[in-house]
Each structure stands twice: as structure tokens, then as C-alpha cells.
Amino acid sequence: IAQERMFYNSCRAARLLHWIRSRSSPSSYQSPMATPHDSNGTQGSAPRRKRPWRKPREAVGPGTATEPAASKQRVQADPLPRDSGLRSSSSGLRSSPVQSQPSLTSRQTTDSGPELVELNGSIMEGGGQILRNSMAMSCLLGRPVHITRIRAGRSTPGLRPQHLAGIQLISSLCGGRLEGDYVGSTEVTFYPQAIQGGKFVADTQTAGSICLLLQASLPCLLFSPPAGPSPSQVTLRGGTDAQMAPPIDYLTSVFRPIVSKFGVKFDCDLKKRGFFPRGGGEVVVTPSPVQSLSPVCITDPGHVTKVTINSFVAGAVPIKVAHQMSRAAKQLVVRQLDGVTVETNDTQEPPARATGNGSGIIAIAETSTGCLLAGSAIGRKGEPAERTGRSAAEELVAGVRAGGCVDEHLQDQLIVLMALACGKSVVRTGPVTLHTRTAIHVAELMTRATFTTRRLEGQDQKGEGHMIECTGIGLQNKHF
């Protein structure tokens, strides 16, 4: 296209120069586009060179985003052989950079290939969750996805190292093709292939959360080929205990037991903890592939029977900091939750099991019906250990009083599994978070599963209970 434009501009300039000179001295000037003489000695003109053909641009309506012509040609010329098993629809509006516009549309890449889903990454929560969930479901369903305006509302828009490591891991799991995968990119296109087995590595090279890497890749790992002589395995490197993300202890002590109700099983071997700013943590995850996911019914929160408080320190942080955190957390839990047994475990990590200095605490409540809720906090430089402990305890107490069977951190992590399960799943939660609403929105559009959310009657404002119901698509593992 660039060469065609250069040729067209040069021809246009020559014609303009010819017109100007012919106007100034029409009798003496000869056109550069004419031949000197023909075979008979008379002056003739060469055939006029035609303007290069250019594909007409598609008509777009108000508020509609357009794409470069090269991008459209690339999509049309690269059909994917994989059959997703879903019926395709090319109706709907295109994505708009305005958040009030529809966030996702579909269009057919070829006459027989899967549809390209276009998604506005700045809608609703507008963060990395949209990227992780849409990429995972694209990999599982074989539906190419084009995500624009990634993290557009953040102070540093576009992909950060942890987001980049997550989407590259998903692409590696299926041998797909990824475009726009660089730090700072606000637009990504992903063409998935069939999920493969093997050993994979994802390294954020920062303190980016390892737990968020697993959140993105675990659904794909569950539908990988069944374990053979060399089962699938993924090594995740980065931060095990990071701000604004669940710690690794939440993953092993809360997330894993609850998702086992779907039939999800995986081993999680913590090799080394990593903290801000260096990272350096390492976790090895070995999943057990499933043929399909079972629906769940988690609707009875019961009453709290036991609270376990685990605190740790690493590096040069003294063990007394762990004692101070757990003691402050226990005092608050005993005061707020009457008649509950509280156990504390304080740990000093060996030097070989941690990179850098750090500390953290997690308080886990177990109920009479087997529900698990938690509150956690990471130690910060200059913050008293007692404040860190109380912060974790306050988060736990708030989760218990919300009246849900799962806490606010687990809500959105269950949405993808509910959408993929065979049949109807029901989960009781507290107030539905924006992360959860965003996850539901993306899951409905990517998988066409149906969700309903209703508020429970008779709940006061401090205990705003909700029921989230989903009829899943019953995705089957083709490798079984």
C-alpha cells in the first residue's frame, strides 16, 4: 500500500507540473508523459498510466471504530483450520472507544473459519482481568479475539510485564499466533490453535503476581491432553505475595479447595517466595486435565466454626514481626466473632525459600458447611506489624458478615469455570463486585453462557447477599 501511494503521488506531481508548464508556454513545452516521435516521425502520446487499484473503505456509522486495511486483509487471508464447535454469528455493532458503546462484536474471518471477536478492553473494570479472561476463553473455544484500548483508563495504559507474560503463556499453551504483544501495547490480536501438552514457563521478570498468571492459564491447562509419560506442567515466576492481588497462600488454602467442587485438581509447589520490587518467586503447577467441569451449588454459608491465621516473614525481617501480626489479627477476630476457635501459625522462611525481604498474613474462616473465606495483607515498609495483622482480620470479618459462601476475591475467579461447566451452577455471594460483573459480561459474550444475578430478600445493607446463577456451555475436552 505504501508503494502504491508513492507511485500515485509521483504520477500526480508529474501531471501537475505538466499542466503548469503548458499554461506558461503551451507552444514550446512537451509533456514528459509523451513519446518523442513515432515511427512515422510524428509526435505521439504514450498510453496513460492508470491509477493503482485500491480497495474501497467500508462505510462506517457514527461512533464506529475503523481498522487499517492491512489488518483486515491479514485476517481474511489467514483462516484457522480449527473448528470451535460453536455456531458463529456476524451480527452486531462494532466496538467503540467510548465506554457507553457496545464492548464486543463478532465478524466472520472467512467463509468457513471461526469468527473474530472484537472487544473493548476499557469497559467496566477496564483492567487486566478483561485481557486474561477473554484470552483464556479464546484459547478454549478457538475463537480469535481482537482487544483494543487495553487498560486505557489506567495511569500507565497498555500491557505491563505481568500482563504480557500471561497472554504469551496462553498463546504458548495452544501454539497460537499473537500480535501486538509488547509492553505498552494497547491492542492485541490472538489467533488460537488446539491446546497442547508440555512444559511451559512464564516469567514476569518483576514482582507481578504469580496468582494472576495462574488465574489466566488454569482453565486452558484443565483442557490440555490427559497426563501421559510427560504431564503438562507450568513454571510461574514473579511475585508470590504482591499488592492488589491474592497471595500464594490464598491460592493453595482457599481457591484450590473451592474449585475442586468443579472437578478441578492441580498440584502447586511453592519453590520460592518473591516480593516487591524484585520478584524472584517461583511456583510449579501440575494440573490434572478434565473431560468436562461439573456444575456447583454453593448456597449455604453456615456459621463460622474455626479461624486459622498464618503469618510469615522472610529475608532479614525478624520472626517477632510475624508474632505481632498474628497476635493483633487474633485479638480482632476474637472480639468480632464470638465463640470461634482461633489458631495461629507463625513461620520464618528459610533463606533458600525466598528472594528479598518480606512478610505477610492470611486469616481463613471455615464454616459448618465447608465454605472458606479469607482476608490477607502484605507487610509494607514503615507500616507497623500490628496494623498489617488487623487489616487482614478486618477483611475477613467483613467477608463473613457479607453473608456469602465465597469472599469478594473468589467471586470473579469462579465465573469462567461456571460458564464452562455442564449444567446449572449457583453460588451465593455478598455484594457483587465490579470485577465479578465484568467477568460475567465477558463470559456471556465469549461463551454465550447465560448468567442471572439476584439480590436475596430480607438482607440488611451490611449483609447484602446475592445469588449468581449460570447455565454453562458444557465444554468437552477433545483430547479424551
Name the pTM for this structure.
Answer: 0.77
Q: Cβ–Cβ contacts within 10 Å for residue 105, how many?
A: 22
Indicate the burial class of 447 (C-beta count within 10 angstroms; 0-12, 13-18, 19 or more). Answer: buried
Separation between Cα atoms, residue 11 and residue 34, nearest integer Å: 13
What ranges in 25-118 are assigned the alpha helix state H? 69-76
Per-residue pLDDT at 458: 67
Q: Cβ–Cβ contacts within 10 Å for residue 297, how many?
A: 14
Longest dimension (CA), the chain: 115
Spell out, as residue ranges, where the chain has pLDDT lower than 70.
1, 3-5, 7-8, 11, 18-19, 21-113, 227-230, 458-463
Per-residue pLDDT at 13: 73
Per-residue pLDDT at 8: 65
- Three cell numbers at 297? 451449588
Residue found under cell 491447562:
221
Separation between Cα atoms, residue 448 and residue 359, nearest integer Å: 42
Catalytic residues: 435
Integer-rounded Cα radius of gyration of the chain: 29
Per-residue pLDDT at 398: 95
Per-residue pLDDT at 133: 96
Per-residue pLDDT at 24: 56
